[in-house]
């Protein structure tokens, strides 16, 4: 079997790679470079030149060939490599007539517990959406900010005490709204400096969050370790890291309790499986990052199925619009999302029941794009907009 074509396909806010073979088997993968998908598209096109004529079942060899070609990496490149890697595993599963997880050692579980995206531009909306998620049967909710999902166009200002006290009180209200039946995955989105993160974590620890995600920027592993040493809530991080080596640096510093590899960013299924093994050796859980499409969900679930240290699976909800529209564009809770549902781009999305995704038994990753997806749902480039402070300086959100 030989690769005959590699196609980059933009659909709505997503970018996919299709790998075609001379036996008619087509593999599908997704890039996680969600802010710079045009750059990742060109990286897919560049990798295509070296893949034509190759055996798609030599997955590890092709991974190494692409990654080590020029020793450059970064989000756009690793997103492209990840999309192709997922597609190659999809081909392998279809070739052998088994789900990908069967090629990785088989199932450790029959279903994967998920956490559901919850957002809101006001405290009242956030609390209401927590209750709605519980009523839908979810036992964990995440992407759950202790701040607000405000538009990036709105200048920001709060005093330190306002920022911290309001955040603590929101987490108190979340816990009061759902009781002990729902785990809270608190998402900071890198908005705090280490000192602020410690103060907030200590203020909310009595509400027993499942984890405290990305409390500060991902640039300095020592800063994350310093936070972890001073708080009593598990830290979850890693969605912006690209390699097993970076995760090893976090693990070596005891800076993380739950690693967050993005299967569409960290080197695909190949990279994610290696990161999961590193985490297992350090008694650390795995919560695959997934703010993307049903294709990403399907790839993540292959990892969730076959690793013993899986903890939770991020689930944006296939019946809603893209997360970049809902959270980044400041349209959380807007009815505009009725015009597009993520599940519309695939022939059949994975089944989610009572807060668990049923592990599929279809060959490959288990999902296919609908015919003409790119024409039905044209690519929509994400606008770059960085939030500013009231004084005109840049803030993290």
For the chain, give every domain's residue range. 3-99, 103-364
| CB-CB contact of 295 with 248 (8 Å) | no
| 334 — pLDDT class (breaks 50, 70, 90) | very low
Distance CA 319, CA 357 (A): 14
Query: What token pair was written down for 199?
Result: 């103060």
Selecting among 95, 189, 242, 336, the annotated active-site residue is 189
Q: Give me the pLDDT at residue 103, please.
A: 98
Distance CA 153, CA 167 (A): 21
Selecting among 20, 95, 242, 289, the annotated active-site residue is 289
- State residue 181 phi and psi, 5-degree precision: -85, -10
Q: What is the dihedral of CA 199, 200, 204, 210, to 10 degrees?
A: -120
Give the rounded percent of residues in the chain with a pLDDT score beyond 70.
97
Q: Is the pLDDT of residue 335 over 50?
A: no
Vertex 130, ends 127 and 131: CA angle to 5°? 90
Distance CA 177, CA 159 (A): 27
For 219-248, write each residue's pLDDT tens digit: 999 999 999 999 999 999 999 999 999 999
Q: What CATH fold (topology level) applies to the domain 103-364?
A: TIM Barrel (3.20.20)
Q: State yes or no: is 71 an active-site residue.
A: no
Q: Is the pLDDT of residue 54 over 70?
A: yes
Q: Is the pLDDT of residue 339 over 80?
A: no
Q: State yes or no: is 95 an active-site residue.
A: no
Residues linked to residue 14 through DSSP beta bridges, in sequence order? 11
Q: Is the pLDDT of residue 36 over 90?
A: yes
For 58-116, write each residue's pLDDT tens digit: 999 999 999 999 988 899 999 999 999 999 999 999 999 999 999 999 999 999 999 99
Cβ burial of 267 (10 Å; 0-12, 13-18, 19+) is buried
The CATH class given to the 3-99 domain equals alpha beta
């Amino acid at each position: 079997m030989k690769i005959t074509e590699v196609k980059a396909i933009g659909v709505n806010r997503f970018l996919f790679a299709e790998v075609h073979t001379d036996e008619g088997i087509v593999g599908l993968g997704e890039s996680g470079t969600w802010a710079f998908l045009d750059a990742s598209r060109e990286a897919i096109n560049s990798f295509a030149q070296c893949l034509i004529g190759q055996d798609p079942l030599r997955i590890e060899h092709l991974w190494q060939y692409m990654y080590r070609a020029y020793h450059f990496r970064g989000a756009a490149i690793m997103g492209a490599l990840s999309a192709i890697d997922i597609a190659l595993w999809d081909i392998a599963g279809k070739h052998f007539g088994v789900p990908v997880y069967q090629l990785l050692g088989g199932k450790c579980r029959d279903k994967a517990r998920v956490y559901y995206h919850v957002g809101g531009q006001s405290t009242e909306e956030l609390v209401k959406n927590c209750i709605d998620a519980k009523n839908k049967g979810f036992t964990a909710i995440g992407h759950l900010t202790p701040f607000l999902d405000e538009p990036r166009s709105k200048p920001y200002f709060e005093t330190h005490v306002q920022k911290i006290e309001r955040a603590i009180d929101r987490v108190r209200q979340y816990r009061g709204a759902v009781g002990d039946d729902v785990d809270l995955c608190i998402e900071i989105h890198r908005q705090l400096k280490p000192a602020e993160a410690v103060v907030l974590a200590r203020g909310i620890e009595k509400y027993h969050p499942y984890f405290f995600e990305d409390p500060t920027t991902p640039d300095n592993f020592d800063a994350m370790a310093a936070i972890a040493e001073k708080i009593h809530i598990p830290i979850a991080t890693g969605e912006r890291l690209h390699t097993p080596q970076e995760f090893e640096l976090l693990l070596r510093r005891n800076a993380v309790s739950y690693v967050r590899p993005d299967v569409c960013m960290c080197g695909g299924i190949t990279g994610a499986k290696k990161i999961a093994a590193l985490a297992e050796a350090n008694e650390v859980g795995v919560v695959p990052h997934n703010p993307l499409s049903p294709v990403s969900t399907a790839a993540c679930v292959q990892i969730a199925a076959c690793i013993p240290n899986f903890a939770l699976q991020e689930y944006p909800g296939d019946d809603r619009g893209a997360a970049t529209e809902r959270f980044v564009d400041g349209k959380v809770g807007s009815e505009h999302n009725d015009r597009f549902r993520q599940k519309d781009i695939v022939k059949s999305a994975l089944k989610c029941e009572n807060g668990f995704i049923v592990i599929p038994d279809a060959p490959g990753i288990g999902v296919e794009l609908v015919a003409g997806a790119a024409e039905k749902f044209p690519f929509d480039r994400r606008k770059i907009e960085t939030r500013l402070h009231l004084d005109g300086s840049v803030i993290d959100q």
